[in-house]
Structure 1
Amino acid sequence: MNQPRAFAAFAATLLISVPAFTVNALADEANKAVAIEIGDPFPSWELEDQHENARELPGDSTGAIVFSRSKQADESLSPVLEEVVGERLTGGEVVYLSDISRMPGLISRLFALPSLRDRDYPVVLIREEGVSDPLVTQADCLALYRLEKGTVVGLENLCNEEDVRRAF
């Protein structure tokens, strides 16, 4: 028998024998271990916005960070956020943070960035995969991290227009 094939068969058998729930449980535990919670400092990052301007997070005046990793949540809720929060987005009191790391580079350059550049407020971008791992949000929701001096004092999911209006 060919040794590479024998090894491949052995590896496949080994992988099949590992229960899926064990792998999922380990992944869930890993996510819980790194998730930012109330009382934790918000990560200090230097990122760029949609205009390639450097932005330091959290800034001295940052009272809230609204985080998105969902295109659907961004498209449906960012207009409401802009209407409700307005000037605070421009002034840096509220920062909009978007993870675009999973988006293919070509799509990002041709479609996402031009669309983001049309916004009247900065959108701080996470472009590297894994950077946003400590930030959690429900599917198709925005996450609102309330901060005091860089420490998370509140965390909530904004999943619809009413949530956004109630939060601000």
Structure 2
Amino acid sequence: MTLRHALTTCLLCLPLFGHAQGMGQPMAPWTLLDQFDQPYTFNADTHVLLVARSMAAARLVDAALKDQPGGYLEARHAAYVADIEHMPAMVAKVFAIPAMRSAKYRIMLDPQGRVASRYEGDRDTVQWLRVDAGRLAEARTFADAASLRAALEQAPAGQTVAAP
């Protein structure tokens, strides 16, 4: 195979791979089901997107939200996506998703990793994406529940989140 053919093949395959969301770029809408099989569509009304790619990151979100009332994230125009792509389907169906139903907040489940993969981030931290007018305005990561809780507290109900 010539270099020209190899480059052409690589360029043709690029759309198959996920791309990272860049600052200031519009964030494409998506729809996922939550732990109750109810659809949620990400749109311009969402101001904060939390992404957890592992059980460790999901535990951080749970610890940050454990004492909050139902509707806490929604009041802050925030959504939470859990990437469960690497969880065995039987474990998710029989154990994990039923356990998630006890949470007082919605968890959008990403079983194929098609949404979480759009946003760069470490597997063991929670990614915080601030959205302004449908565009990515800020990306932060949290490695502990207390910091994540404090950041969520800075997001008054009904308002967007300001940078710290």
TM-score relative to the length of structure 1: 0.71
Q: Is the 8 A contact 1:100 1:126 kept in 2?
A: yes
Q: Pick the aligned partner of 1:137 from 113, 121, 126.
A: 121
Equivalent of 1:154 in 138, 141, 155: 138
The yes-or-no answer on 1:54 pairing with 2:39 is: yes
What is the CA–CA distance in structure 2 between the aligned matches of 1:152 and 1:95, rounded to whole Å? Answer: 14
Q: Is 1:100 aligned to residue 84 of structure 2? A: yes
Deviations 1:43-91 (A, max 9, x none): 2101111100011013x43110000111011113322145469643144
**Residue 122 to residue 165, structure 1, CA distance change in 2 (3 Å):** closer
2:20 alignment counterpart: 35
Partner Cα distance (2:38, 2:108) in 1? 9
Please state which structure has a larger fraction of its residues in helix.
Answer: 1
CA distance in 1, matches of 2:113, 2:71: 30
Q: 1:128 aligns with which of 79, 88, 112?
A: 112
Alignment CA distance shift 1:119-1:72 (3 Å): same
Residue ranges of structure 2 left out of the alignment (5+ in a row)? 1-13, 153-164
For the residue of structure 2 that corresponds to 1:108, the secondary structure is helix
The answer to whether residue 31 in structure 2 is matched with residue 63 in structure 1 is no
Amino acid at match of 1:114: P
* Partner SS state of residue 21, structure 2: coil
| Alignment CA distance shift 1:161-1:79 (3 Å) | closer
TM-score norm. by structure 2 comes to 0.73
- Per-residue Cα deviation, 1:87-114 (whole angstroms, up to 9, x for no partner): 4314461111111122111000111101
Q: What are the ranges of 5 or more consecutive residues in structure 1 without an aligned counterpart?
A: 1-28
Q: Is the 8 A contact 2:48 2:128 kept in 1?
A: yes
**Residue 93 of structure 2 aligns with which residue?**
109
Secondary structure class of the residue paired with 1:76? helix
Identity %: 22
RMSD, aligned CA:
2.6
CA contact (8 A) 1:143 1:155 kept: yes
Is 1:72 the counterpart of 2:56 in the alignment?
A: yes
Return the index of the structure with the highest Cα Rg. Answer: 1
Q: Could you say if the C-alpha distance between residues 90 and 166 of structure 1 is closer, same or farther in structure 2, counting changes exceeding 3 Å? A: closer
Aligned residues: 138
